[in-house]
Amino acid sequence: MAEKKFNPLPGFGLTMGYTLFYLSALVLIPVAALFLKAFQLSWHDFWRLTTDPRALAAYKLTFGASLLAALVNAIFGTLLAWILVRYEFWGKRFIDALVDFPFALPTAVAGLTLCSLFAGNGWLGRFLVPLGINGAYTRLAVIIALTFVGLPFVVRTLQPVLENLEQEVEEAAATLGASRWRTFFSILAPTLFPTVVTGFALAFARAVGEYGSIVFVSGNRIYETEIAPYLIVIRLDQYDYHGATAIAAVLMLISFAILISINWLESWASHFER
């Protein structure tokens, strides 16, 4: 008779049951309700509502801007996390605290702040607009806003990994004659890549669902700067619940597909590292 393995953490059944109930109440049931509402539509009506030219333009801007913003955050967020972990300088604690500013700042306030900065008469806009760089009421404004709200996800994901990264390995590589670039591509990059992909996925997911800051800074021009979450709100204001549900379902399906692809890439990168 096989001995029962001892579990140092008692109450597995109770905690697992609470976990499943918690996830079901907050995630599974709302998502299932959304798709059940969408299934009430005929295929013809669902296709008509989701492939409307206005909806297609909103999808393109939402996912395109989210991917660009997440990519920018993956690059510069990695650099920022590296600087905060590896170097000591005056004002480091202030900059480290400033990274969490998008978490604490209401998104509507963030949108108004970006407008005051990048508008034609703003602090930065008065210098950028004459150069042809319009950071307000354009697609660039959407990317800037999404980059702003997604930056902390990359930095905070990378910092613990960088802190636990043993510098002795880099020193040993330098002792053996490896250049800095060889050390980076052979040691650092394979180790950090899965975590960078995780931060990228979190920033992307946050950007896809962003609404408050973009409403103020984008101008919400149809076919140009209108994002999918804002179009859903417009449909609800017009009491077009079927249209809002159909667009929300498409938004969720595409987000799931992209996140599954990113998770597969992260898993592949982790296996490659081992």
> Which of 202, 191, 194 is closest to 259 using CA atoms?
202
For residues 244 and 239, give the distance between their C-alpha atoms in angstroms, rounded to a whole number: 9
Cβ neighbour number for residue 164 with a 10 Å cutoff:
8
Distance, CA of 75 to CA of 72 (rounded, Å): 5
pLDDT at 77: 93
pLDDT number for residue 151: 92
pLDDT for 171 beyond 50: yes
3-class state of residue 126 by DSSP: helix
User: Is the pLDDT reported for residue 274 higher than 60?
Assistant: no
Mean pLDDT of the chain: 85
According to the model, what pLDDT value does residue 4 have? 57
- pLDDT digit string, tens, across residues 80-135: 999 999 888 898 899 999 998 888 888 888 888 888 888 888 888 888 888 888 88
Angle at 203 between CA 202 and CA 204, to 5 degrees: 90
When pLDDT is cut at 50, 70 and 90, the band that residue 273 belongs to is low
pTM of the model: 0.85
Say whether domain 61-273 belongs to CATH 3.30.420.40.
no
Q: Which helix (H) or strand (E) holds 78?
A: helix 53-86
Instruction: Report how far apart, in Å, the C-alpha atoms of 247 and of each of 44, 58, 96, 138, 146 are.
Output: 14, 10, 38, 23, 20
- pLDDT for res 57: 94
